Structure formats: C-alpha cells, structure tokens
Structure 1
Amino acid sequence: MKKVSYVFMIAAASLAFQACNSGQKDAKETADSLNKTKDTTSSVASTGGIAVDNDDAKFATDAANGGMAEVALGKLAITKTANAQVKQFADMMVSDHGKANEELMSIAKAKNITLPSTVDADHQAKMDKLSKETGKDFDKDYVDAMVDGHQKTLDLMQKEAKDGKDAELKAFAAKTAPIVQTHLDAIKKIQDSMK
C-alpha cells in the first residue's frame, strides 16, 4: 500500500510541476523535471525513487542530450559532406557516442534516472540549420558545432569525474573524458585545415 501511495505522490508531483510551467519543455527539460520529483531518500525498488542525487541525474540528462546530438549530427554529416576528413570524423561520432549512449542508458535504467528521448531545442535548432546547408558552408558550421559541443562535453565529463557523488556515473565520466578529448583534438585539426 505504501508503494502505491508513493507512486501516486510522484505522479501528482510530476503533473503539478508540468502544470506550473506555462511554456513548452523540450525532452531534456522534461527529464530533468521528472528526476527532480523522484525521491532520493528511500529504496528505489519500493518507491520508484531515483538512486542518485539531483546533480548526478542532471549530469546524466546533459550527457545523454549531448550524446544523442553527436550521433544525429554525425549521421547528418555522413550524408551531406563531400570532405573525407569530416565524413571520417562523423563516422567516429556515430560509433563512439552511440556506444557511450548505450552505456549511459544502462546506468540510468538501473538507477531509475529518466533520460531525454530526443535532443533539446538548442540542438534541434542546430540540426535544422545544418540540414538546410550544403558544401563548404555545411562543413564549416558542422565542424564549428563539433568543436563547441566537444568542449562543453569535455567540461561536463571532467566535472562529473571530479565532483560526482555516484560511483558509476563518476567512473563513466572518467572513462569517457579522454575519448571526448581525442574527438576535440581531431576536430580542431580539421577546423585548422579548413582555414
């Protein structure tokens, strides 16, 4: 009976949070809101609560959002670019970020963290803009977006690896940061070669 009342309380809190917000939320904001309403003080199995604190849950949603964007933009680049370096980098994005996304989803599922199902509005706007571009304009803007995105992702991973409280998420961030650094170094070389 206690389990049922917790589920109803979580559902009511979730609806209340959504009702209070008059604006549209993207999938990442919705996931962050749902994670904030989950109880972190009791057993995940019996209450439907979340097994990590809000900062670790926010890291997971941010990392998932960025990872999904890297894969989606990589797939777009594979179809749009004629530049062999950009195409090779895009292939690496789809492969490496796809693997990282699967690992993060597995951790999130075990800890009852809600992850976004689609990218946030900012990443969607970038994808929409890039999908309309061709040739060198596309290549330049894609490469610039990858430099910016990888710098933000590297900062996110390094912060979680240093300050995270959940051991699995902290280990995921520590393992992923060097891969992201490799990506950042590679895309900066491509960016320099295009100048």
Structure 2
Amino acid sequence: MGGAMALTLGALAYPSMLGVNTVSSDQTRIIAQTQWGPLTEGDRDFVVKVRAAGLWEYPLGQIGLQKGSSKGVLEASKHLVDGHSALDASCRKIAPMLNITLPNIASPQQEGFVTQLKAESGKQFDTDFANILRMTHGAIFNTIAKIRSTTKNSLVRALADQANDTVLDHMTVMEKTGLVDFDQTIFNQTTPPKLPSTDTTPPPPPAGQPQVVLTPPPNPTSTPLDLSGLGGGGSTGGAAPNPSPSAG
C-alpha cells in the first residue's frame, strides 16, 4: 500500500470511530435503571456506535457492489449490506426500549471514508476499501468484547453478541480479499491521531425527522435480535431521559 494511502488512513483513523463522545469520562457511570438491568454511559455509547457503523458501512457495501473490481471485494460488500441491515434493525428495536436517541447520519470522520471511496475506482478502490474496513472493524472488535464482558444490561448484552459475530465476519471477508496490508492497517488501528469530537460525533437527528432504515437485501442471511427470551417488554419505564448521541 502506497504512501498516499497511509497518509489518508492516518488522517482519518481513530479507535472509537464507530462511536461518540460521552457525557462523562466514566464509562461505568449508571445513567438509567431499566427493567433489563442498569444502563451505563458505555452501554449507551455502544448502541449508538453500532447504529453509526451501519450508517456509513452499509452504503459502502452498496458502493462496493457497483464499483468493486475483484470477487473478494464484491463478496465483502454483500456481507456489509447483509450484516449491517440486521444490526441496524436490532439497534432500532432496543433504542426506544432504553430511551436512547439514535443518529440518522454518520460522523464527519465516517462520512470522510465514504467520500474518499466514492472518488476511487479499480484496484485503488478495492485496496482502500479492504484496508479501511479491516481497520475500522479491528478497532471496534475489542470494544465489543469489553461491553459484552462487563454490561449488566441484557439488551446491550444481546446486541454485543450480534455485533461480535457480525464484526468478526466482516474482518474475515476483508482479509480474504488478499488486499489487506496488516502492518499499516494495524498500525493505524492501534496508534491513531487525536481528532476533535466534532469529527467523531454523529449529529443528533433534527426534531421530527423520520428515522433512517437500512433495508435488508432481497435474500438476507443475517437476522435482527429476537428479544422474546430476555424478559420485559417494550416499556421504557425507568429509563433515563432521552440522551442525545451528540452529548459531549
């Protein structure tokens, strides 16, 4: 991978690239007591992170299906569309139950990845597509594991299970393209620059704006969460006041 690619990734990479800033620096701070267990700052942010991921990776999957010039990239693109449509449905299902406000567009940083790849074609597109998406999925993988092992909220735990399976699948299909430069990608994944919160925070949706829905492909292989065995219902009783995803 050339120097131009390294500079591009270095300018955009950030380990919490699927997330938003928190109201408090303490991710364990409880912001609500719900019938599914306490909801922490980290739990809330995680739900928003998963939603934000789909808002830029799903359209990139659609772009990859149109512009990909290799079998591996075309296959990876199918996985992005399939996996993120199901994850997004799960986020939209549990967010109102936990009184969490979801964004309708990704962060400026995430939109920067989309803008970059829209302008590319051929081998350059395939290479940058595989490396950017391997980097972003690798960056969030450890976050998912931490949430899954520490959350006391059963809805967040179920979402973490689904996200873990999806992200692992997406990392794997990116690697199978044969285009991933592991040295550069892992370097950018683990030693990112510090970016201002305005770059890494998806804006809250305007009041009354319809919620964006990521439509599943015609023959989906991934399915949203089945919450029937988790107890409770759709009530938001006991949840926190509506927390904005842009809270800093």
TM-score where L is the length of structure 1: 0.71
One-letter identity of the residue aligned with 1:69 = W
The residue number in structure 1 matching 2:170 is 183
Of 153, 173, 184, the match for 1:166: 153
The residue number in structure 2 matching 1:96 is 83
Does the 8 Å contact 1:130/1:141 carry over to 2?
yes
* Cα 1:57–1:126 shift into 2, 3 Å: same
The residue number in structure 2 matching 1:48 is none
Does the residue aligned with 1:52 lie in a helix, a strand or coil? strand
The residue number in structure 2 matching 1:4 is none
TM-score where L is the length of structure 2: 0.57
Of 113, 131, 136, the match for 1:149: 136
One-letter identity of the residue aligned with 2:165 = P
Larger radius of gyration: 1
Does the 8 Å contact 2:75/2:173 carry over to 1?
no
Pick 1 or 2: higher relative contact order, CA cutoff 8 A, min separation 6. Answer: 2
* Structure 2 Cα separation of the partners of residues 41 and 172 of structure 1: 18
1:21-69 per-residue CA deviation (whole Å, 9 max, x = no partner) reads xxxxxxx759x66xxxxx945789xxxxxx7222211111112111222
* Structure 1 Cα separation of the partners of residues 118 and 158 of structure 2: 35
One-letter identity of the residue aligned with 2:73 = V
The residue number in structure 1 matching 2:40 is 53
* Structure 2 Cα separation of the partners of residues 41 and 63 of structure 1: 20
* Structure 2 Cα separation of the partners of residues 59 and 131 of structure 1: 27
The residue number in structure 1 matching 2:63 is 76
* Structure 1 Cα separation of the partners of residues 34 and 178 of structure 2: 49
Does the residue aligned with 1:191 lie in a helix, a strand or coil? coil
Runs of 5+ unmatched residues, structure 2: 1-18, 24-29, 183-248
The residue number in structure 2 matching 1:119 is 106
- Percent identical among aligned pairs is 21
* Structure 1 Cα separation of the partners of residues 106 and 130 of structure 2: 19
Superposed, 1:129-144 pairs within 5 Å as: 129-144=116-131
Does the residue aligned with 2:64 lie in a helix, a strand or coil? helix
- Give the Å deviation of 1:133: 0.6
* Structure 1 Cα separation of the partners of residues 93 and 32 of structure 2: 22
Q: How many residues align?
A: 156
* 4+ residue segments displaced more than 2 Å: 39-44, 191-195
CA RMSD of aligned residues (A): 2.6
Runs of 5+ unmatched residues, structure 1: 1-27, 34-38, 45-50
1:87-136 per-residue CA deviation (whole Å, 9 max, x = no partner) reads 11101110111111111111012111011110111110111111111100
- Bigger proportion of residues as helix: 1
* Cα 1:41–1:152 shift into 2, 3 Å: closer
* Cα 1:88–1:54 shift into 2, 3 Å: same
One-letter identity of the residue aligned with 1:99 = A
* Structure 1 Cα separation of the partners of residues 169 and 64 of structure 2: 19
* Cα 1:134–1:111 shift into 2, 3 Å: same
